[in-house]
Structure formats: structure tokens, C-alpha cells
Structure 1
């Protein structure tokens, strides 16, 4: 579903991505983790078109999308959420999710201007689709009120619903558990698994190591813009290069044991 080959990205003299390569198979749940500054969000931004890489190749479902605009990549089947919520605060909950349906909407500018029958049909389909995905993410708040009035955890659900309304093949989740309490994280874990059951491939960046270990089928670990590990959760957790990247060469035996168990507070804070 996704191939990243020798990706390069630099900001001035800082090399954010240094020949990064990894792939994600159709239907997989893959987490991309690493210490702060490892290049995780830069990689997502290059894949989704928000950054133009200085070198390398990105392929989505076999098609090269390197350097295309975000809208063009989205049209090829990619949707994403962001570390910092990017909802339309002055729109309703329902209209925020309806905005995600524009990629497949059949109406034209003229239809919208003249309110043609096709416009009315399309608007009805868009509304039905938005309700469908809000039901799917189990939104409990008011759908007609402004989205900015919802609690933070509910806004996270709206953002995921909007991404799903685009009918993606690949969903990128950038720190979806940020700011959530333990109960909301458990609900997010179940939601991610239900999304996978729809046949959607999922890649996520996440700081919560417990969530990463529970939902991931495979984990890709970055450090200084390079891949240092790629494998099943148990294999990655015991990888010496991963432990060193998170805790440094001077970590004591207790820290190493906790990091490998995936439950270290220090490890989670540095994810």
C-alpha cells in the first residue's frame, strides 16, 4: 500500500530524513516511533504532500506520488489526521465531517450555484455519509453545534470521522492519543481495530507505547531520520539499537528492562 524509498528531507543544515525506506502492506497497522526529532512527522508530511522531499520516492498503492500536492495525494486514497487538531472551529460537527466528502462528491460549481437536482442529491448523500462515520466513531456529543464546543476527546473522534469520510485506502494518524485520558485511549484502540476491519491500512505516529504495542502488527523505529528497526512489537522492544536510541548508552539495567517491557514512563515520554 505504501512504499517509501531513500527519502531525503533537510531544513537548512539539519537533515530530518536521511535515506529513509520502509513499506506498509495492505490492511496492516504499522506504528512509526522514535525519539523526539527522529523524523516521524517529517516522513508523514512527505508522504501526504505537505513537504516536498529533496530526494527519494513515495508510492501509494503502486502509483508514484512524490512531490504531489496534498489534494492530489488524497484523491489517490490517502487521508490523515494531525498532532494538533485541524478542525473548522466555526463550523458544526456535521459540516466538519461533510467537508471530507468533497473528494467523491459528484456536484459541480454550477450545480452548487444553481441548486440543481444533482446538487440536492449530492448534499443529501454527503449528510448521510457524515452521519454514518460519526456513528462509526461513536460520537456522543451534539452534531449540530459548533465543533469547538465539544470536549477535546470528542473533537479527536470528529477528525477521524472526517478522514474516514474521504473513503481512504491508507489512513495516517499523527499522535491520535495525545491529550486523551485512559478510558478514551482504550476506546481509540478499539476504534483503530474496527477501522482495520473495514480493509483500511493504518499508519500511526504515537507517544503512548502501551497503545503502540497493543494495536501494531509491525513497528518502524526512526532515529536521526533513518530507520533503525522494523519488525513485530516484541522484536522491536528487545532491539538494542532501539533501547539505546530512547535511553542512551548509559542506561542502567532497570531502565533497559522497563523500556523492553514497553511500560517505562521515561520511554513513553521520549517516544
Structure 2
């Protein structure tokens, strides 16, 4: 079943075209990588799907419903969660509170409950804490959960951001360069984590420059170059595609 359907997506900033006719789909519990050289339009596509950018053309549908014109909060409520190329944690908050923030988007709690610390408020807070600890266990966090998030090593902060995204209980998770800045051992662990997330029934769209990781984890790969889709297929097909090879390595212009 198709979960996300992007069709003829176009995004322009004045005279600069960032995305030019991009089309791809993502099925339930499928891992799809979106790759391409720097400036190809990958993160811009993520920003269109999640409501941070308003496309200038095309359609985006999630579970059969249009996402066009929806705010990021409405997109998240529909079942799409994401991480960012540059970490966006609340550095001064504890690791646990960063992940609790993800759970709070789903759990019902009024201002009245919070001010008076009603039984519902206390139940909600206990549920948030339990869920946050569950997802921190799931991603394999090793650091102190009560220390400020900014005090964790970079690789551990990546895990916290993914745990916060999972705390929203998404059906689709968008990961923007999750292996950036990680060492070899951490990348191996990230590969395993991505597969375990998929095994929960969550579809994943991945932007990543580490081609080794992409080729191992992806079920399909979409390749962009200068905002245009130049390939869409299984890893072994994309690896041999002449247009992909040229986009990454360049063509021989010598006579």
C-alpha cells in the first residue's frame, strides 16, 4: 500500500528552481533513500513534505490525504516525523525532557490540568516519562538521561533526536543525514537501528551521503540532480545507471 505519494513536485525561490518535477512514492514499512550531489534538492523535498516550504507546483499525499498547505504541526499530527541535517535538540533541557516533548504532542492535557496538577496531569506525565525511557532504550542511548542534551557526544545526540521523533509514534519517519559525523562503529549501529525502526512497521525516507550505508539499508533509491529525478529503482539498478554515475563522477569532456 502506498503511504506517501509525491507527484510532479516543484519548488522555486524567485528565479532559482530547487525542485523540478520530482515524483516518487513510499510504501508502508518501506525504506527509501533520496540521494544526489550537494544542492540537488533533497532537504528541500523533505521541507515540502513536512510543511516547512510551500511547493510552487505538484501534489503531496499521505495516506490518500493532501498535505499541501498544512502546517508542520498538522503534518506531524497526521503521522509524519523527521530529524534534521543539523541537530535541533533543546540543548538546555535534559535528554529525557527532549524525548518527553515528542510524546506531549499526542497526549491530552489542558492548561487547567497543568496548573492544578490534576490526576489526569500526573497520569500524563508518568506516561510521557515511561514512553521517553522506552524510546531511549530502543535507540540504545548510553549517556545520562538527566543531564543537559548538549553535554552528550554528537553520536548520542543523534540517537536522542531519533528517539524524540519516534515518541510521536509516526507512520513515516524522514531521516536527514542520520550518519553524518558518525564513526564506523556508530554507522554500523545506525544501520541496525534503521532496520529495527522499519521492523516496527514504520516507513522511512532517508537522505544520506554514505553510499555504503545507503546501498545496504535501502529497498529503493531515488536519485536527484539539480532538482530533477534522474533514477528510481533498487540499489543494484541505481548503482549501474549511467545517469547516476555521471551525476556523481562527471562525464569525460576530453576528445
TM superposition score normalised by structure 2? 0.97
* 2-structure distance, mates of 1:32, 1:6: 16
Aligned ranges 1:193-212 → 2 under 5 Å:
193-212=195-214
* 2-structure distance, mates of 1:112, 1:61: 34
Structure 1 segments of 4+ aligned residues over 2 angstroms from their partners: none
Aligned residue among 32, 35, 38 for 1:33: 35
Q: Deviations over 1:179-213 (max 9, x none)?
A: 00000000000000000000000000000000000
What RMSD, in angstroms, separates the aligned Cα atoms of the two structures?
1.0
Is 1:110 equivalent to 2:112 in the alignment?
yes
Aligned ranges 1:152-191 → 2 under 5 Å:
152-191=154-193
Q: Deviations over 1:99-126 (max 9, x none)?
A: 0012211111211121111000000000
TM-superposed CA distance for 1:251, in Å, is 8.2
Distance 1:251 1:177, change over 3 A: farther
Aligned equivalent of 2:80: 78
Aligned equivalent of 1:266: none
How many aligned residue pairs are there? 252
- SS in structure 1 opposite 2:102? helix
- SS in structure 2 opposite 1:242? helix
- SS in structure 1 opposite 2:48? helix
- SS in structure 2 opposite 1:9? strand
- SS in structure 2 opposite 1:132? helix
Aligned equivalent of 2:146: 144
Aligned ranges 1:1-271 → 2 under 5 Å:
1-250=3-252
Structure 1 contact 46–67 (Cα < 8 Å) conserved: no
Structure 1 contact 31–219 (Cα < 8 Å) conserved: yes
TM-superposed CA distance for 1:25, in Å, is 0.7
* 1-structure distance, mates of 2:246, 2:216: 22
Structure 1 contact 33–206 (Cα < 8 Å) conserved: yes
